[in-house]
Amino acid sequence: MRVLMISKALVTGVYQKKLEELATMPGMELLAIVPPFWIEGRVGKLPLTRMFTDGYELAVEEMRFNGHHHAHFYPGLAKHVRRFRPDIVHIDEEPYNVVAVQATRLARSVGAKTLFFTWQNLDRRYPPPFSLFERYCYRAAGVALAGNEDAVQVLRRKGFRKRIEVIPQFGVDPGIFQPLERPPGAADAFAVGYYGRLVPEKGVDTLIEAVAVLEERPRLVIVGAGESLESLKRLAQDRGIADRVEFRGTMGSDEIPRMLSELDVVVVPSRTRPNWKEQFGRVIVEAMACEVPVIGSDSGEIPHVIGDAGLVFPEGDVQMLAQRLRRLIGDRALRRQLATAGRQRVLERYTQRQIAERTFEVYRDLIADPRG
C-alpha cells in the first residue's frame, strides 16, 4: 500500500511520530509532502523541525501563498505523484482549500483514492470558488477524517454522505510526554500554566483575571506568542500580579515536557467566537500525558477531550475558573487523582500509535472498497 500524505502541520517535529508509526504497518510505503516552513497568522513563521523521520520519506516542497490557509498549494507536487504513484492520497487539509483540489486532481490522474481531514466544527458556507472546491473534494473522496464530533455534523449538513471517522489529526508520544521530576530550583509556590497562541479567542485574559482574585497567590507561567502578548502583560500589571506572571515566549515542542514538570495545573481557557470554537485542544492531551491536571473551558471539543480526567468551567467565567483553581490548590489528593486519570485517558485514546493504527484501518478499508 503506497500512501502519499500532504500536510503542512508536519513542520512540527513531534507530529512526525505518527508517520513513523504508520510506516511500521504491514505493507506500508509512505511519502509525506511538507513545506520548509509555515507562516501561522498572528503567530509567525514555524520552520520545519525534523524529529521522527525513520521508515518513510519526508519530501520538502516549496509552497505558494504560504500562510494563506485557503489559497496555498505546492507547484512541485505533480512530480511526486507521478514518481510515487500512490494508491491513496491523504489530504491533511480542509476540503475547501486550493491544495485539496490540486491533490485530488493529481490523485485521480494516477488512479489513486483520496481522503481529507477536517477540523471545521462550525457550519460555515463559503463563496465560489471555495464552495466549488469543497463539493469537488466531497465527490472524489472515499472517506473523511474528522477531528471532533461537531465536525461530523457539519459534514453531514453540508451534504457529505460517505464514511466519516472521528480521529484526531495527531496524538502524543507518551515516551516524550511523560511525568518528570520537578526541576531543582523551581519555585515552591503553586504554579498555574498556559501555553499556546496568545490571541483573543484563547481566553488568556480570563486566566489572568482568575489568578488575580485568588487569595492563595499562585504564580502563573504563560508560554507562547501572538498579537495579545502586550495587552496581556498590561492586564497583569493593572491587576497587580505582574510580579507573579512569567511570560516565557515560544518554546520548541521538545521543551514542553520539562516546562510542564514545573506546573501544578494547566488551564485551557478558550472562548468561542462567531467564526471559531476550540477544535480539539492538543495542550490538554500533552499535559495529561505528563500527569499535570487540566482545567478547561466548555468551548467546542474541550469537555470531550478532558472527559472525567479534569475540571471544566463555563467559558469566560472568571469566578468559576477561580473556584476550580482554588479547589485544586487546596486538595492535593484531587490533583494526584486527576494526574493519574489524565495519563490513563491519553494511553487509552490519544497516543500516536493509536491514531496511526486507526488511520491505517481507514486506509485498508478504502483500498478494499470498490466504490472508493
pLDDT recorded at residue 187: 67
- For residue 259, what is its C-alpha cell? 516546562
For residue 371, pLDDT beyond 80? no
Distance between CA atoms of 192 and 179, rounded to whole angstroms?
A: 16
Distance between CA atoms of 119 and 151, rounded to whole angstroms?
A: 6
Pairing of strands 294-297, 163-166: unpaired
Tens digit of each residue's pLDDT (9 = 90 or more) over 125-144: 999 999 999 999 999 999 99
pLDDT recorded at residue 372: 63
Tens digit of each residue's pLDDT (9 = 90 or more) over 268-325: 999 999 999 999 999 999 999 999 999 999 999 999 999 999 999 999 999 999 999 9
pLDDT recorded at residue 117: 98
Amino acid (1-letter code) at residue 200:
P
pLDDT recorded at residue 108: 97
Tens digit of each residue's pLDDT (9 = 90 or more) over 189-235: 899 999 999 999 999 999 999 999 999 999 999 999 999 999 999 99
- For residue 102, what is its C-alpha cell? 490540486
Among 57-71, 241-255, 325-339, where is mean pLDDT lowest? 241-255
- For residue 131, what is its C-alpha cell? 464552495
Q: How remote is the C-alpha of 12 from its chain's centroid?
A: 11
Band (95; pLDDT cuts 50, 70, 90): very high
Distance between CA atoms of 334 and 342, rounded to whole angstroms?
A: 12
CB 28 within 8 A of CB 1: yes
Q: Outline where DSSP puts E strands in the chain.
A: 2-6, 29-34, 37-40, 44-47, 57-60, 88-91, 113-118, 143-146, 163-166, 191-195, 219-223, 245-247, 265-268, 294-297, 311-313
Angle at 301 between CA 126 and CA 298, to 5 degrees: 115
- Radius of gyration for the alpha carbons in the chain, expressed in angstroms and rounded: 21
- For residue 45, what is its C-alpha cell? 513563521
pTM for the model: 0.86
Bridge partners (DSSP) of residue 221 are 193, 246
- Looking up cell 457539519 gives 154
Half-sphere exposure for 201 (CA within 13 Å, toward CB): 12
